[in-house]
Amino acid sequence: MAQSVTVLLVPQLGTEVTEAEITEWLMADGEPVEAGEPVVNISTTKMAMDLEAPASGRLKIVMEEGEIAKVGDTLAEIS
Amino acid sequence: MPKALVIDPAVTRQRDSLAVPPIPVHAYDVPFADALTLHGAETLRDALRHMVLIREFESMLASFKATGAYRGVDYAYRGPAHLSIGQEGAAVGAALALAPEDYTFGSHRSHGEFLAKGLGAIARLPEAELDGIMARQDGGRLREAAETAVAGEGRALAETFLMLGFLAEIFMRATGFNGGMGGSMHAFFPPLGCYPNNAIVGASAGIATGAALRRRLAGEAGICVAHAGDGATGCGPVWEAMNFAAMGQLSTLWEAPFDGGLPVLFFFTNNFYAMGGQTSGETMGWDRLSRIGAGVAPNALHAETVDGTDVLAVADAVARKRALLVDRQGPALLDVECYRISGHSTTDANAYRSRDELKLWEAHDPIARLATSLIDAGALAEDGLAALEEEAGRRIEAVTRAAVDEALSPSVDIVAHPVLIGDLMFSGGETPVPDAPSTLTAPREASAALRKLARKSRAGRDADGAPLSPMRAITLRDGLTEAILDRMERDPRLAAWGEELREWGGAFGVTRGLSDVLPYHRLFNAPISEAAIVATAIGHAMAGGRSMVELMYADFIGRAGDEIFNQLAKWQAMSAGQLKLPVVLRASVGSKYGAQHSQDWSALIAHIPGLKVIYPATPYDAKGLMASALASDDPVVVFESQRLYDRVEQFRHAVPAESYTLPLGVPEVKREGRDVTVLTIGPSLYPALDAARDLAALGVAAEVIDARSLVPFDYAPVLASVARTGHLLVVSEASERGSMAQTLAATVTRHGFASLKAAPIVLGAPNWIVPGAEMETTYFPQAHDIVDAVTAEFYPDRKPNRRGVRDWDGLSLARRGL
Ligand SMILES: Cc1ncc(C[n+]2csc(CCOP(=O)(O)OP(=O)(O)O)c2C)c(N)n1
Ligand SMILES: [Mg+2]
């Protein structure tokens, strides 16, 4: 049976924000995560926020700390 | 918002009722014989003598005000005399329990508070130390005058020195403790623990709290006493200060040895009246003043009501509160009841109280009370009080003669030195970043936010010259952050507080990441108490610290009006340069939120003598000027535009990663041109540059100068520019009327008139409220407004059609108050 994969996306962060920086991964690549657990901190010039795992499973980091992501980009996959 | 303190609904929603600890009222019940044994007869006779000296001292002032003479000395004393006759027991009782190293901060009715603390310290300090203190004051000049006035040495001489230095100050003489710059309501003398008295009701509360914070951080032993009257319980800033000293984080979040409520005693001399308004029963809601402690903290601030007519009851209470403060259980509150027999001031007609009431209280004179007890106990001769009074009369007369003697106590000679007071406004001193080990609790790399900062491009443009996004390059906000962090890391004397400064990083992120590497006692979230934020910054600096505090929006300056305008701005000069106030007050200038969140008040602050003011507009300038502000020993107000926080550098190749300073007060040419000088304040730089590009297309070469600082201000670069261009336009976002932009234009007109081909123009915000985001461009000067002004007024041949909305008649608006 194919494994189900959930993606963690950069959310819409207000009407004026188009991109955010991955400031810090709170979990390591390959680690198991629980749905609702904070896994990454992202920041814009105005604010910083933690994003939660959208599902439980194993974390696969797609974008590294320091990279700048656009709203809608995939930060990680959880399988 | 510290995550360590979880708000658990299961706990907060439990049924409960609150109990207030009992607040003792007149509980002192120690037999006099026991008090005599505790203190010793000599100490109590001394306390009596101090009260008698204070009363004679104030009677002398009363006599001068009423008759122009005292014991054969004629003198026209012109200043105030808020006398405390009848209240001496409160001040001397407190001093009896205080150590020389404790600090008192006085009220407006402070002669007694000052003399009692000074006399108490003189009684306890070693004579050699007193000699040193006298030798250091004004090169020994005051000591010499005291010796000439009354022959004596040791403690007796120190007492004469204290009274003469104080009276000379009251008479505004150059030899007064504060060089004649303080006077009756503001005198102080730190070597004896007498910190500033304050003519603003309740103002000492916040300043004493800040000093208590500094003493805690510096590991010093003494406590701070904030003197105030009962009327001061109606002052918001007093409540703010009490809460600040008691705030929960001091116990829940701060680490040892910095933890625990602050060592400050709020000492209310409760004489039942403000001037004519009666507190309990008329103007206040409380019945007993001590009750208000219960409104501040669960321990009710250990509040008590004590009998201020009984020196011993006061000394007992202060000693117990002092022990609590030393044990880190502060702050504490005392309601010290007594009665002012004298009028509020010499113009008091006693219209608000009856003769009968006065009579009732005459039976409770603190001096008669202690004298009688001492005589009854055989510790004072029957005529002992009369002898003390006679001696006090002789001594005060001698001190008075010396204080009005031009040879011993010369007047301040402004005529010979017209800028004498001006020279006292700023020390001009700078303390560079100490060459000390890092004080950070973790390496910068441990902070994700600081790692992010370190990854950014130092340059504002990419290899092709295109501007980088604020996500990728150092912004004005980052320049500020770096300067603050550089100083915080190496200077353990610097502490920073303001609303939401820690985890949030300040509402606009300037201190983001700093809480990862700095402990609570160096960087903390302040209560929403703008008055206390500024007042504590002042006290902290007065007591040897360096303070950086933030007001989230400049619009909130009004909430800290007295603290900024009367305290921060004035204490350096009112101390004749003895006090230094290294305080940086940051205030962001808002945008988009309308009238109460978007006002540029830089002109208002620049108007107040005694404050340095900067308004950087580029990342490079922001970093260098902030570093200079933090190095300055003078108070500096830093305006930061929220619209500029995300600006990347576009004038220099890069913003250095290392720390550097830029001189305060030097404007800089940001674009050269020969046809018109456009001098900008703060964010106006950017529309001016846009306008300069448009003007260039019309064949007008604009020179754009960024003021960068408002106070101080070096006019030379502007005058040199106007000498080349012949035209000046000043652009600012502050309302035009009475603004700094008008001052700049007027001064250039005065000194550069010969170069000017036309009258300068000031383009500020109109004299009405800042509208919301949708209308902001009609309010703050825009590029097209600048083009309009230059073309219409200076180069009418170039482009007659206005594009902006500012086609109004200034004179007709002025007639309507606009
Ligand atoms: C902020 C402020 N408001 C008003 C005054 C004018 N004023 C001077 S003393 C005084 C009464 C103060 O009463 P209280 O605090 O009880 O002290 P007391 O004069 O009784 O010693 C007033 C209203 C002032 N100096 N400062
Ligand atoms: Mg009063």
* Mean pLDDT score of chain A: 90
- Ligand 1: nearest atom to the Cα of B279: 16
Q: What is the mean pLDDT of chain B?
A: 96
Mutate to test the interface with B, among A45, A63, A64, A68 (most CBs of B within 10 A): A45
In this prediction, residue A13 carries a pLDDT of: 82
Q: Do A45 and B451 touch (CB under 8 A)?
A: no
Helical H runs in B377-475? Answer: 384-403, 420-425, 448-455
- Joined tokens for residue B358: 């006065």
Higher-pLDDT residue of B325 and A1 is B325
Query: Which are the contacts of B495, defined by CB distance < 8 A and separation ≥ 6?
Result: B213, B217, B521, B522, B523, B540, B545, B546, B547, B548
| B775 C-beta neighbours (distance < 10 Å), count | 10
Q: In whole angstroms, what separates CA B401 from the centre of its chain?
A: 35
Range B444-464 average pLDDT: 95
Q: Mean pLDDT throughout B168-193? A: 95
pLDDT at position B2 is 67
Q: Cβ-count burial of B716 within 10 angstroms (0-12 exposed, 13-18 middle, 19+ buried)?
A: exposed
Q: Please list every residue in chain B whose beta carbon sits closer than 8 Å to the beta carbon of residue A24.
A: 448, 451
Structure confidence at residue A2 (pLDDT): 56
pLDDT of B51 over the 50 cut: yes
pLDDT of residue B135: 97
Q: Which residues in chain A touch residue B455, judged by CB atoms under 8 angstroms apart?
A: 66
Catalytic residue (choose from B39, B227, B597, B727): B597
Q: What is the mean pLDDT of residues B661-670?
A: 98
What is the per-residue pLDDT across A37-74, written as a single tens digit (0 to 9) for each? 999 999 888 788 899 999 999 999 999 999 999 999 99
Residue B801 pLDDT:
72
Q: What is the pLDDT of residues B675-709, one digit of tens each?
A: 999 999 999 999 999 999 999 999 999 999 999 99
pLDDT at B221 over 50: yes
Average pLDDT over residues B755-780: 96
Is residue B807 very low, low, confident or very high in pLDDT (cuts 50, 70, 90)? confident
* B623 vs B344, higher pLDDT: B623
Of B275, B336, B350, the one to substitute when testing ligand 1's pocket (max ligand atoms within 8 A of C-beta) is B275
Residue B24 has pLDDT above 90, yes or no: yes
Gap from CA of B56 to ligand 2 centroid (Å): 21
Using one digit for the tens of pLDDT, what is the confidence trace for B372-401? 999 999 999 999 999 999 999 999 999 999
B484 or A17, greater pLDDT: B484
CA atoms within 13 A on the CB side of B133: 24
The model's pLDDT over B91-131, given as tens digits with 9 standing for 90+, comes to 999 999 999 999 999 999 999 999 999 999 999 999 999 99
Give A14's pLDDT tier (boundaries 50, 70, 90): confident
- Alpha carbon distance B198, B271 (integer Å): 18
Buried b (16+ CB within 10 A) or exposed e, B245-267: bbbebbeebbeeebbbbbbbbbb
* Domains of chain A with CATH codes: 6-78 (2.40.50.100)
- Per-residue pLDDT band for A1 (boundaries 50, 70, 90) equals very low
ipTM: 0.83
Residue B521 a catalytic site member: no
In this prediction the pTM is 0.96
Per-residue pLDDT tens digits for B571-610: 999 999 999 999 999 999 998 899 999 999 999 999 999 9
- Ordered domains of chain B (ranges, CATH): 32-112+185-391 (3.40.50.970), 448-644 (3.40.50.970), 668-815 (3.40.50.920)
User: Is residue B1 predicted with pLDDT exceeding 70?
Assistant: no
pLDDT score of B768: 97
The reported pLDDT for the residue numbered B351 is 87
Residue B800 pLDDT = 62
Q: In the predicted model, is pLDDT for residue B28 greater than 50? A: yes
